[in-house]
Structure 1
Amino acid sequence: YLPIGGGGLAAGTLIAIKEKNPQVKVIGVQSKSFPAMYDSIKQGSITASGGDRTIADGISVKVPGQITFNIIKELIDEIVLVDDVEITKAMFLLMERMKFVVEPAGAASLAYLISNKPAIGKKVVAVLAGGNVDMYLLGQIVDKGLAAMGRLLKLSILLPDRPGAFKEIVDEITLANANIVEVVHDRLSSNINAGSAGVTLSVETQGKEQAGLLIDALKKKNIQFTLLT
Structure 2
Amino acid sequence: MKIEIWSDIACPWCYIGKRRFETALAGFEYKDDVEVEWRSFQLDPTLPDHVEESEADYLSRSKGIPADQVRQMFAQVGAQAAAEGLNYDFDSVKVANSFTAHRFLHLAKSRGVMAEAEEALMSGHFETGRDIGSIDYLAEVGARLGIDPDETRRVLESEEYTDAVEADVAQARMLGANGVPFFVIDRRYGISGAQPAAAFSQALETAWAESQKVTVLADPTNASTDYPEGAVCGPDGCA
TM norm structure 1: 0.24
Q: Compare the two structures and name the one with the higher helix fraction.
A: 2
Q: Compare the two structures and name the one with the higher strand fraction.
A: 1
TM norm structure 2: 0.24
Choose 1 or 2 for highest CA Rg.
Answer: 1
